[in-house]
Amino acid sequence: MALPVAFFALFFAWPVAAIVARGLKVDGAWQFGRITDVLTQPDIRHVLWFTTWQALASTALTLLLALPAAHVFARLDFPGKQLLRAVVTVPFVLPTVVVGTAFLALVGRGGLLDEVGGVRLDTTVWAILLAHVFFNYAVVVRTVGGLWAQLDPRQEEAARMLGASPFHAWRKVTLPALAPAVAAAALMVFLFTFTSFGVVQILGGPAFSTLEVEIYRQTSEVFDLSTAAVLTLVQFVAVGAILAVHAWTVRRRETPLRLVASEVTARRPRGAGQWALLAGVLATIALLLVLPLAVLVRRSLDAPGFGYYRALMNADGGTFLVAPIHAVWTSLQYAVAATVIAVVIGGLAAAALARRDAGRLVRGFDALLMLPLGVSAVTVGFGFLIALDKPPLDLRQSWILVPLAQALVGAPFVVRTMLPVLRAVDGRLREAAAVLGASPWRVWREVDLPLVRRALLVAAGFAFAVSLGEFGATVFIARPDNPTLPVAVARLLSRPGDLNYGQAMALSTILMVVCAAALLILERLRTDRTGEF
């Protein structure tokens, strides 16, 4: 427990507190009057309202579209399932600049919807909502699907034997067991969409503004740190409230479950209903997720003989001192480091939180760990700058700062994916092992680990994906000139000319492939024999 707390305090709480204090303290006196000043502005109130309702709508829509997919991935077996699981995670790592562009091909002028039905959604709220679904689909599929795959289907079957309809059995048996995972997924999606930045800007146009955009503007453009500080506090309060609601709903639902190996729960689809469900889910994925990605890939191939890809190999001296392709290597290194940090920190935190005797303090820490998802990257970046500037902790020019910042975002994922599974492990197993003389470490290794290995890998996959696609912190932290993939993409996109645009698309395609490959490898890492009891 000590390590996650220290990590969190040092790399999150302290920098954010430092930057907020800088904004709200004038000559050593707190200016709390600023809070009411800012909050009474109609513009700010409007921004708050929009931020909240679009996040709620996005979350609802994502759950609606992704829960059936979670079921299909958990319960049905079909060829190409692993590949598809990796593919649905790809959107999650793409830089928003690229996603915006790809998405316009779907909902924008001359896009698919325009050609088919004459519908254009760009600069409407619908485009924002759909893009949020595109981004967060994987969050639901992976967190909910991960647990669902390990639920014992025989319980539901028993209910059916006793005369319950399929839906009724699902509602009474499976849904309650899934509730914590669904709530966790909903929470993450909400936090992501609540702090959405790029998507809202690109697809919504300048008429829509979220709290995150406003904080960015006040910090980067206007340099009004006191307004930015107030808005950061507002974001804190909002996110804190959401976390409280979440904790309250989940706490009454978590019960030990019978977990079984996921390999035995999936079956080939049977009957018209299951086939129809599978077809529906595949169609949704094809339209909403694969199509925009396909547009990107097609654009990256527009030059004859893979011209754009070949252009990536040479440093043009100007935009890049090294060939853009080098960014792949940089990104992978950061991602590995960030994943290790996130899994260690998140894993330790989850283990501490899962203990039945965890006190109130520990539970409070659970909520705190989620806060980094709800604080804008620009706040954290500026905070790092003024907090971590003195030896022995002058990390401002150290490369480690980037994976550390990415791990801040990754660790909550690790906690959220591991916790439902860890809490579902029956404590009596541990007690039995302890009674038989196993040391606590051995209990963890022999009882918990086999059961949570899968969740651990899912979590690691998330942390890796988060790091690979992470753009905010990477941009806000000063770094020596070796760009990561998303940064390189943004840099190419910020210049006129066909070749630059093409290279940006090619690099985005490489990012997708790298991400999908990494996730596939993680899937393969699963040993075939998950614990047998």
Partner 1 sequence: MHKKTLVAAAVGLGLISLSACGTSETKSSSADSKTVTLVSHDSWAVSKSVLDDFEKQSGYKVHVLKDGDAGQAVNKAILTKDNPQGDVFFGVDNTLLSRALDNGLFESYTAKGLDKVGAAYQLDQAQHRVTPVDYGDICVNYDKAYFGKHKLTPPQSFADLAKPEYKNLLVTENAATSSPGLGFLLGSAAQFGDQGWQDYWKKLKANGVKVVDGWEQAYYQEFSGSSEGRKAGGDRPLVVSYASSPPAEVIYAKKRPSTAPTGVANGTCFRQIEFAGLLSNAKNPKGAKAFIDFLVSREFQEDMPLNMYVYPVLKGAKVPAEFTAYGPAAQHPETMAPGKIAANRDQWVKSWTSLVLK
Looking at the Cβ atoms of 274 and 333, the one nearer to partner 1 is: 333
Q: Which of 64, 367, 347 is nearest to 187 (CA)?
A: 367
The answer to whether 149 and 262 are in contact (CB under 8 A) is yes
**Tokens, residue 194:** 């609540």
Question: Is residue 220 within the footprint of partner 1 (CB under 8 A)?
Answer: yes
3-state secondary structure of 76: strand
Question: Is residue 437 within the footprint of partner 1 (CB under 8 A)?
Answer: no
Looking at the Cβ atoms of 137 and 334, the one nearer to partner 1 is: 334
Question: Is residue 307 within the footprint of partner 1 (CB under 8 A)?
Answer: yes
Question: Is residue 300 within the footprint of partner 1 (CB under 8 A)?
Answer: no
Which residues in the 125-184 window bind partner 1 by CB under 8 A?
none
Looking at the Cβ atoms of 169 and 443, the one nearer to partner 1 is: 443
**Min. distance of Cβ 343 from partner 1 in angstroms?**
8
Choose the stretch contacting partner 1; rule: CB under 8 A; options: 130-138, 246-254, 412-420, 491-499: 491-499
Which of 253, 278, 398, 531 touches partner 1 (CB under 8 A)? Answer: 398
Which of 54, 174, 195, 201 touches partner 1 (CB under 8 A)? Answer: 201
Give the CA distances from residue 133 to residues 55, 56, 165, 286, 411, in Å, rounded to whole numbers and listed in that order.
Answer: 11, 12, 31, 13, 22
**Min. distance of Cβ 340 from partner 1 in angstroms?**
5
DSSP conformational letter for 372: G
Which of 482, 484, 508, 509 touches partner 1 (CB under 8 A)? Answer: 482
Look at the alpha carbons of 156, 532, 445, 406 in this order and tell me if their dihedral is positive or negative: negative
Question: Is residue 413 within the footprint of partner 1 (CB under 8 A)?
Answer: no
Question: Is residue 399 within the footprint of partner 1 (CB under 8 A)?
Answer: yes
Question: Is residue 294 within the footprint of partner 1 (CB under 8 A)?
Answer: no
For the chain, how many residues are written? 533
**Min. distance of Cβ 254 from partner 1 in angstroms?**
23
**Min. distance of Cβ 267 from partner 1 in angstroms?**
37
Can the peptide bond before residue 206 be classed as cis, meaning omega within 30 degrees of 0? no
**Tokens, residue 409:** 């975002």
**Tokens, residue 113:** 């919807």
Look at the alpha carbons of 527, 141, 403, 234 in this order and tell me if their dihedral is positive or negative: negative
CA 32 to centroid of chain Cα atoms: 34
Q: Which stretches of 27-129 are assigned E, i.e. beta strand?
A: 29-30
Q: Which of 410, 408, 411, 405 is nearest to 476 (CA)?
A: 405
Question: Is residue 64 within the footprint of partner 1 (CB under 8 A)?
Answer: no
Which residues in the 85-124 window bind partner 1 by CB under 8 A?
97, 100-101, 104-105, 108-110
Looking at the Cβ atoms of 233 and 340, the one nearer to partner 1 is: 340
**Min. distance of Cβ 304 from partner 1 in angstroms?**
8
Choose the stretch contacting partner 1; rule: CB under 8 A; options: 154-162, 460-468, 500-508, 517-525: 500-508
Question: Is residue 431 within the footprint of partner 1 (CB under 8 A)?
Answer: no
Buried b (16+ CB within 10 A) or exposed e, 414-423: bbbbbbbbbb
Q: How far apart are CA 296 and CA 90, in angstroms?
A: 13
Question: Is residue 498 within the footprint of partner 1 (CB under 8 A)?
Answer: yes
Which of 62, 89, 219, 226 touches partner 1 (CB under 8 A)? Answer: 219
Buried b (16+ CB within 10 A) or exposed e, 246-262: bbeebeeebeebebbbb
CA-CA-CA-CA torsion for 352, 354, 358, 360, nearest 10 degrees?
A: 100
Q: How far apart are CA 514 and CA 323, in angstroms?
A: 17
Which residues in the 261-290 window bind partner 1 by CB under 8 A?
none
Looking at the Cβ atoms of 77 and 389, the one nearer to partner 1 is: 389
Which of 64, 283, 286, 386 touches partner 1 (CB under 8 A)? Answer: 386
User: Using CB under 8 A as the criterion, what x/- string covers residues 320-339 for binding partner 1?
Assistant: xx-------xx--x--xx--
Element holding 531 (H helix, E strand): none
Question: Is residue 344 within the footprint of partner 1 (CB under 8 A)?
Answer: yes
Which residues in the 14-53 window bind partner 1 by CB under 8 A?
22
